[in-house]
């Protein structure tokens, strides 16, 4: 395959990926209530989970968030496990032996942090 064909193939693949991404985003928006219900089921009645969810940024480790929130070690780890099990987060790596989590892509696209802040009247330092 020559360079021109390779370039054309790459451009075509990028275009197709963008179309798929747009369709996926549209589906997330159409199903916003379903995702908000998932968030509510995972967070309702637990202020620590709410604060942890809002603190997750894909950069800070569990240990760093634990220190930032000044919360008990076991409670923080259980909350992280619960959020992960409920499908709100995904593990993306580790830092100094402590896992780093990020919110699922749909949570970012649907601006779930703002939804959580409004619904649960949470003030954040950020």
Domains of the chain: 31-120 (1.10.10.10)
Confidence label for 45 from pLDDT (cuts 50, 70 and 90)? confident
Which candidate, 24, 27, 47, 34, places its Cα nearest to that of 116?
A: 47
Predicted model pTM: 0.84
In the prediction, which pLDDT does 126 show? 46
32 pLDDT more than 60: yes
Which candidate, 6, 71, 85, places its Cα nearest to that of 43?
A: 85
CA atoms within 13 A on the CB side of 31: 12
């Amino acid at each position: 395959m020559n360079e021109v064909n390779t370039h054309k193939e790459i451009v075509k693949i990028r275009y197709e990926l963008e179309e798929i991404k747009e369709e996926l985003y549209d589906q997330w928006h159409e199903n916003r209530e379903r995702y908000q219900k998932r968030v509510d089921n995972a967070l309702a009645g637990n202020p620590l989970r709410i604060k942890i969810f809002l603190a997750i940024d894909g950069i800070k480790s569990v240990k760093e968030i634990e220190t930032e929130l000044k919360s008990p070690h076991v409670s923080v780890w259980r909350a992280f496990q619960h959020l992960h099990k409920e499908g709100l987060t995904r593990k993306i790596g580790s830092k100094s032996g402590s896992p780093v989590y990020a919110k699922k892509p749909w949570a970012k696209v649907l601006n779930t942090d703002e939804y959580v802040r409004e619904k649960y009247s949470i003030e954040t330092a950020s």
